[in-house]
Amino acid sequence: MVKSAKVDRRILKSQEAIKTALITLMGEKHLDDITIQDISDRANVNRGTIYLHYLDKYDLLDKLIGEHMDRLRELCESSCRLEWTEATLVFCEYFDAQYSFFSLMLASKGAPYFRNRFLDFLIEEFRCELDVTRGKNEGIREEVLVRFTAAAYAGVVEWWFMNEKPFSYQVLAEQLGALLERNL
């Protein structure tokens, strides 16, 4: 029997405080202007604690983004047998629950490369789901359909955050799901 290593709750609490501090600071100023000292002050940890877990602020941001991308992949796997609207509801609920992160990454341009990673994720996931061999999309090149769908999805989600959730995530999911079902 293999025992999984338990992570000390204090470590998890420190890491969460560090991530929250970075997101909060990025809402106030550009990443390039944020120092490790700023993060440590805001997280109420010493600088050594940050360096114990991360190489620098860019590594911290990269790991934070990676965690959200991993969670989106997990959601994809768990919702792959659902209809488009139901699957989209799973994602939109996560977007809403993680509003501060996604609004910062998509709406404020706080991390310019996040949108590209998000788009790449959507392209990867839609590539497995879209069928260009029959129906309305017959004859359309797969790469065109996949990129069009992913860009449209990302654009609507980005718009929703930039406009500070003009309607509920449920409505967003219904609208996106209906468009996906109608066109795919």
DSSP notation for 59-80: HHHHHHHHHHHHHHHHHHHHHT
* 170 shares its domain with 99: yes
What integer pLDDT is reported at residue 128 of this predicted model? Answer: 83
Query: What mean pLDDT, rounded, does the chain reach?
Result: 90
Do residues 96 and 176 share a domain?
Answer: yes
Is residue 42 assigned to a domain? yes
Q: Give residue 34's pLDDT.
A: 95
Q: Do residues 45 and 128 both lie within one domain?
A: no
Do 95 and 122 lie in one domain? The reply is yes
Q: How many domains does the chain have?
A: 2
Among 16, 36, 54, where does a domain finish? 54
For residue 131, give the CATH number of its domain.
Answer: 1.10.357.10
Compute the average pLDDT of residues 82-102.
94
Give the CA dihedral 134, 139, 143, 146, nearest 10 degrees.
-40
Here the CATH number for the domain that contains residue 39 is: 1.10.10.60
Q: pLDDT category, 1, cuts 50, 70, 90? A: very low
* pLDDT tens column, 34-71: 999 999 999 999 999 999 999 999 999 999 999 999 99
Domain assignment of residue 1, yes or no? no
| Each residue's pLDDT tens digit, 16-27 | 999 999 999 998
Write down the pLDDT at residue 140.
Answer: 87
Whether 83 maps to a domain, the answer reads yes
The confidence score (pLDDT) of residue 106 equals 87
**Rounded Cα distance, 149 and 156, in Å:** 11
Q: Are residues 79 and 134 in the same domain?
A: yes
Position 159 in a domain: yes
The answer, yes or no, to whether residue 95 has pLDDT greater than 60, is yes
Average of per-residue pLDDT across 127-153: 85
- Shared domain for 33 and 99, answered yes or no, is no
Range in 70-84, 102-116, 134-148 with the lowest mean pLDDT = 102-116
Question: Is there a single domain that holds both residue 127 and residue 148?
Answer: yes
Same domain membership, residue 100 and residue 171: yes
State whether 33 and 98 are in the same domain.
no
CA distance 68 to 77: 14
> Residue 98 falls within a domain, yes or no?
yes
Same domain, 45 and 67: no
Domain extent at residue 85: 63-183
- Range from 70-74, 105-109, 129-133 that averages highest in pLDDT: 70-74
C-beta separation of 39 from 64 below 8 A: no
Q: Judge if 100 and 173 occupy the same domain.
A: yes
Average pLDDT over residues 166-171: 97
Question: For position 20, what pLDDT does the model report?
Answer: 95
Query: Are residues 45 and 70 located together in one domain of the fold?
Result: no
| In a domain? residue 3 | no
